Amino acid sequence: MKNIFKFLILAVLFLVLNANAKEVRLIHITDIELNSKNAYKLQETIKEINSFKDIDFVLFGGNNIAKAEIINLRTFIHLLKKVNKKCVVLLGSTDVDSSNNIDKNYYLKRVKLARFFAHSSKPNYTFKKKDYLFVVMDGTKQYFKSTNGYYGKDELLWLKKTLDKNKDKKIIILQHFPLLKAESSWMETAKTEAYEELLAQYNNVKVIISGHYNKNIETKKDGIYHIVTESYAKSGAYKTIEIDLDYDFVATYLIK
């Protein structure tokens, strides 16, 4: 009887601790640059991702397809349906091209349909997970080709309104284009000063997760922890990211 009572106490304690768990765990896979030739590789990686336990969501970080063409998007959508976890899909410089009839609206509506309407069809939006507010920023250009991202006035105004409404929340920003300096001007995000000046007005933006630079960078700048994940297309790598801001804890694990 004592052993049964002890087991019940431990079981209840386990449930209480897990109910109050504030750690978020996600998988970040970016710059896949998918086409018909490398689709099999991603299919195998998705099987691996599906085997993970306790993942809150999978972040497809932009440049998901090699070129904004219907065949590439169809292949990506087909594989996206196979992921058995919540997905967040960002846009990158290779994903949209209005001249090929793939604009942001078309791309994200296809993603929303593939995820059984459990995904936003807007390029800028928010969602809550545990105690955190995740803010998705776009930065892509759809009317002309460019490897540089750019966060324009309208997008930054939207961000300001979002941050003003959520000053009491811990915020994690998800975006394809980093705010950090790049080794090449061809890759560097354009005119980040206004974005950085905006972030300086708030002390609750804690983490920014991005890709695009095709290398791993982890650094703290002006109180914000920046995580940049290397290109899956080039290395086959992706990251698990664990965040518990109550303990100022951020841990990443690169998987190849």
pLDDT in tens, 101-155: 999 999 999 999 999 999 999 999 999 999 999 999 999 988 877 789 999 999 9
- Say how far apart CA 97 and CA 70 lie, in whole Å: 11
Tell me: the pLDDT tens digits for 74-90?
999 999 999 999 999 99
Specify which residues 249 forms β-bridges with. 244
- pLDDT tens for each residue of 228-244: 999 999 999 999 999 99
For 3-29, give the DSSP string.
HHHHHHHHHHHHHHHHHT---EEEEEE
* Separation between Cα atoms, residue 231 and residue 211, nearest integer Å: 7
- Per-residue pLDDT tens digits for 140-171: 988 877 789 999 999 999 999 999 999 999 99
Contact, 176 vs 140, CB < 8 A?
Answer: yes
pLDDT interval class at 193 (50, 70, 90): very high
Q: How do strand 57-60 and strand 24-29 relate by DSSP bridges?
A: parallel
Q: What is the pLDDT confidence band of residue 21, given thresholds at 50, 70 and 90?
A: low
Indicate the SS3 state at residue 183. Answer: coil
